[in-house]
Amino acid sequence: MKAFFINRYGKSDVLRLGELPEPRLRDDDVLVQIHAAGVNPVDNKIRAGEFKLLLPYKMPLILGTDLAGVVVRVGPRVRRFKVGDEVYARPDDDRIGAFAEFIAIKEDSLALKPANLSMEEAASIPLVTLTAWQTLVEKGGLKKGQKVLIHAGSGGVGTIAIQLAKHFGATVATTASEANADMLKGLGADIVIDYKKEDFSTKLKGYDLVLDTQGGDTLKRSLSVLKPGGKLIGIAGPPDPDFAKLRGMNGFLSLLMRLLSYGIRKAARRSSASYSFHFMTASGQQLGEITRLIEAGHIRPVVDRVFPFEETRQALDYVETGRTKGKVVIKVH
């Protein structure tokens, strides 16, 4: 099968198109012919080797963490899917590979594609929507009437998180450029802070939850927005001890995570708030919940551009600029 893969970590030029064997099917796997694949910032980070301590991949490694397609074969223990089903997924961390013609996915990580979305729209959904769901709903415990700040509202995670938070009845503030303000208000944002001209940390107060996608100084300044007992959840790092425990990391890595996040955890405690890091996990069950929200019209995808399969490298380069509105998608089949 045709696939975009790397043989070593590095910059954009390490990605190559070539022929690789079709993936082998385990007993609880579903083989999916990929029609479209979503492109995420994490794809470039994996290519650059930023996660090699956490995710020790073997080479050659096919990149790609989001997809939609059609079931072409099922393992003997698979019960919920059949040949011909239209599906979408964020494959498990250790089994990525959406920039290819086929992928084998664990049945539990797969869901039926929303009937009202095209393959390209569906491929834009899994990673960012699972991230928003797991941070806001699972970890954040977001409830009706609460106030949430979502950083970088025009990005892939931001456009979905705004809609999800609004669906749960929250007041939603976001940071973005003035050019994207109308779009984000259309998605449900109540307050849009122009990060080029305004300082969100002096404008907002008494928030229950902040979803940070930026890290660094933005992460630290977000603590001033929270009320006592508020939660700061970061997806750009630094990783914390709970993340190390969840991943079953060894003593050295656990200590490293503790040290990396010590400063922000201590600052959060001083503010009577809490900090936690989240790295989303695959879940077909949660995707099923998300499918229902999409089909009911509560969440809609925001797709910036669709690239042909042959231009996968250009699609990754475009995402790396950090200027996308919503998601970038590759049309595979």
The mean pLDDT of 91-114, rounded to a whole number, is 97
Helix-helix angle 312-320:41-48, to 10 degrees: 100
| Chosen CATH of 2-124+302-331 out of 3.30.70.60, 3.90.180.10, 3.90.79.10, 3.40.50.720 | 3.90.180.10
Domain ranges within the chain, ordered by starting residue: 2-124+302-331, 127-277
Q: Are 208 and 227 in contact (CB under 8 A)?
A: yes
- Residue-level pLDDT at 253: 87
Nearest-10 Cα torsion for 180, 296, 120, 43: 70
Beta bridge partners of 71: 32
User: DSSP per residue over 241-276, as a string?
Assistant: HHHHHHTT--HHHHHHHHHHHHHHHHHHHHTT-EEE
pLDDT band at 252, cuts 50/70/90?
A: confident
- Residue-level pLDDT at 248: 86
What CATH architecture does domain 127-277 belong to?
Answer: 3-Layer(aba) Sandwich (3.40)
Distance CA 271, CA 226 (A): 8
For residue 103, the surrounding DSSP H or E stretch is strand 102-106
Q: What is the mean pLDDT of the chain?
A: 96
- Residue-level pLDDT at 23: 96
pLDDT at 251 exceeding the cut of 90? no
Beta bridge partners of 228: none
The more confidently predicted of residues 100 and 243 is 100
pLDDT at 52 exceeding the cut of 90? no
pLDDT tens-digit series, residues 208-245: 999 999 999 999 999 999 999 999 999 998 999 998 88
- Residue-level pLDDT at 235: 95
Q: Give yes or no on whether 2-124+302-331 and 127-277 have one common fold.
A: no
Q: How far is CA 127 from CA 7, 123, 133, 153, 211, in A?
A: 24, 9, 10, 16, 15
pLDDT tens-digit series, residues 256-315: 989 999 999 999 999 999 999 999 999 999 999 999 999 999 999 999 999 999 999 999
Q: Which residues contact 285 (CB under 8 A, 6 or more apart)?
A: 108, 111
pLDDT tens-digit series, residues 167-212: 999 999 999 999 999 999 999 999 999 999 999 999 999 999 999 9
- Residue-level pLDDT at 107: 98
- Residue-level pLDDT at 269: 96
Q: Which residues contact 221 (CB under 8 A, 6 or more apart)?
A: 199, 200, 201
Q: What percent of the chain has pLDDT over 90?
A: 91
Q: Where are the alpha helices (DSSP H) in the chain?
A: 41-48, 119-123, 126-132, 156-167, 181-187, 200-203, 216-222, 241-246, 251-270, 284-295, 312-320
- Residue-level pLDDT at 323: 87
pTM recorded for the entire structure: 0.96
Nearest-10 Cα torsion for 271, 274, 280, 286: -120
Distance CA 24, CA 37 (A): 20
- Residue-level pLDDT at 53: 81
Q: How far is CA 179 from CA 166, 184, 186, 205, 270, in A?
A: 21, 10, 13, 24, 36
User: DSSP per residue over 218-250, as a string?
Assistant: HHHHHGGGEEEEEEEEESSS---HHHHHHTT--
Distance CA 216, CA 169 (A): 29
- Residue-level pLDDT at 299: 97
The mean pLDDT of 88-96, rounded to a whole number, is 96
Distance CA 161, CA 167 (A): 10
